[in-house]
Amino acid sequence: MKKIILHVDMDAFFASVEQVDNKSLRGKPVIVGGVSERGVVSTCSYEARKYGVSSAMPAFIARQKCPTGIFLPVRHNRYKEVSEKIFKIFREVTPLIEPLSIDEAYLDLSESTFKTGEEAAKYIKTRVYRELGLTLSIGISYNKFLAKLASDWNKPNGIKIIDENMLPDILFPLPIRRIHGLGKKACEKLNNMGIFKVEDLYKMDKEFFIKYLGKYGIEIYERIRGIDKREVKVSRDRKSVGKEKTLKSNTNNIDELKEYLIEFAKKINEILDKTDKSGRTITLKYKTGEFQNHTRSKTLSKYIKSFEDIYEVGCELLEETPIEEEIRLIGLSISSFREEKEVQLKLF
């Protein structure tokens, strides 16, 4: 029997949490992140999206596009708290959950008491809305690729089912960048060869995929035919990789602290290389002389793993943090790991 897979993704997550916590923000263009002139937008409410604001946009552009936008600082701890409540509701539906990020997961209903994806999706939406006042979008299909594609279909607050009998028609008109696993570079190369839509790619034979898309070629070949054998990985995997140290003596000297970040970034990069991971949330942690713990995080629009990138974001976080008292411990970690390698088209 075919599996039932759900892909669930909260709508405008950080911005929606802000609107729930502060009634006066509802219905307004809320932009989270980008408070400082040099910052970037983390996300924004659908009201702000009408003005053309989007994630990872530099703040000054967002301000030009949406002068009435309400810019708010990122409150990572609060979003984390809400995320935990949402995942608790997911666990009422099935134990087979693969978290993808703070607001996104795959659910496999194989061991669920819910017999249809629609029932499960309605249950989740009702519970999340009643308890947290938030909406989410859910895609339902028989594999991960199609479920993820479906959750994006009617965003926000959507439910979309993709059945086998809808294929290949539903995929044909899509631009190839919608195919999970085809990275930006791969799409550019294919575009240069006159391939824009899934329908164009579908016409190519298996050899083409192997030749131009390397070791992921066959997966892409299958994917556009609606085949995706990836299991929902109930990960007991580490959710973050990090390093921390109690300082030799307490300090708030930025240059000294940066020395530690160099060491941490090197170590983190080594582990990421070994485990073939990259991440997009970097967290700086410190403990004051009074033993108070603080964390500051930054979620990027792209995944990183190199020493240079990790160190650079660590330094940014450090520089943006007003550390008045001397600190006794510092740490750096990376999380929000990428689900799998994106296809990097080989040079040809």
- Our finding on whether 278 is near ligand TTP (CB under 6 A) is no
Beta bridge partners of 246: 329
Residue 344 binds which of ligand TTP, Mg ion, none (CB < 5-8 A, kind-dependent):
none
**Can you tell me the distance from the alpha carbon of 201 to that of 214, in angstroms, rounded to the nearest whole number?**
15
Secondary structure element (H or E) that encloses residue 214, with its range: none
CB pairs under 8 A, 24+ apart, for 42-48?
A: 42/14, 42/74, 42/299, 43/12, 43/13, 43/14, 43/15, 44/12, 44/15, 44/69, 45/12, 45/15, 45/16, 45/19, 46/11, 46/12, 46/156, 48/15
Cβ proximity to ligand TTP: between 224 and 317 the closer is 317
| 207 in active site | no
From 29, 38, 72, 44, select the one nearest 58 (Cα to Cα).
38
The active-site residue, picked from 98, 104, 219, 339, is 104
Could you tell me the smallest distance in angstroms from the CB atom of residue 143 to ligand TTP? 20
Per CB under 6 A, the list member of 3, 28, 51, 55 interacting with ligand TTP is: 55
Residue 156 binds which of Mg ion, ligand TTP, none (CB < 5-8 A, kind-dependent):
ligand TTP
Could you tell me the smallest distance in angstroms from the CB atom of residue 102 to ligand TTP? 6
Cβ proximity to ligand TTP: between 155 and 197 the closer is 155
- Our finding on whether 31 is near ligand TTP (CB under 6 A) is no
205 annotated as ligand-binding = no
Site for Mg ion in 76-115 (CB under 5 A): 103
- Our finding on whether 132 is near ligand TTP (CB under 6 A) is no
End-to-end, the C-alpha distance of the chain in Å comes to 41
Could you tell me the smallest distance in angstroms from the CB atom of residue 309 to ligand TTP? 15
Cβ proximity to ligand TTP: between 179 and 204 the closer is 179
Could you tell me the smallest distance in angstroms from the CB atom of residue 33 to ligand TTP? 6
CA 124 to each of CA 76, 107, 142, 193: distance values in angstroms, whole numbers, following the listed order: 23, 11, 18, 43
Per CB under 6 A, the list member of 5, 6, 7, 14 interacting with ligand TTP is: 14
**Can you tell me the distance from the alpha carbon of 62 to that of 56, in angstroms, rounded to the nearest whole number?**
10
Could you tell me the smallest distance in angstroms from the CB atom of residue 138 to Mg ion? 11
Neighbours of 244 (CB within 10 A): 14
Continuous H helices in the chain? 13-21, 46-49, 59-65, 76-93, 117-132, 144-151, 184-192, 198-202, 206-213, 217-223, 254-275, 307-320
Phi and psi, residue 214, nearest 5°: 60, -145
Neighbours of 249 (CB within 10 A): 7
| Site map 145..174 versus ligand TTP, x via CB under 6 A | ----------xx------------------
Max Cα distance, the chain (Å) = 66
Cβ proximity to ligand TTP: between 55 and 251 the closer is 55
- Our finding on whether 10 is near Mg ion (CB under 5 A) is yes
| Site map 266..305 versus Mg ion, x via CB under 5 A | ----------------------------------------
Could you tell me the smallest distance in angstroms from the CB atom of residue 10 to Mg ion? 5
- Our finding on whether 339 is near ligand TTP (CB under 6 A) is no
Beta bridge partners of 286: 294, 330
Contact status, residue 287 vs residue 327, Cβ threshold 8 Å: yes
**Can you tell me the distance from the alpha carbon of 31 to that of 73, in angstroms, rounded to the nearest whole number?**
9
- Our finding on whether 48 is near ligand TTP (CB under 6 A) is no
200 annotated as ligand-binding = no
Binding site for Mg ion (CB under 5 A): 9-10, 13, 103
Catalytic site residues?
A: 104
Binding site for ligand TTP (CB under 6 A): 9-14, 42-43, 55-56, 102-104, 155-156, 299, 301
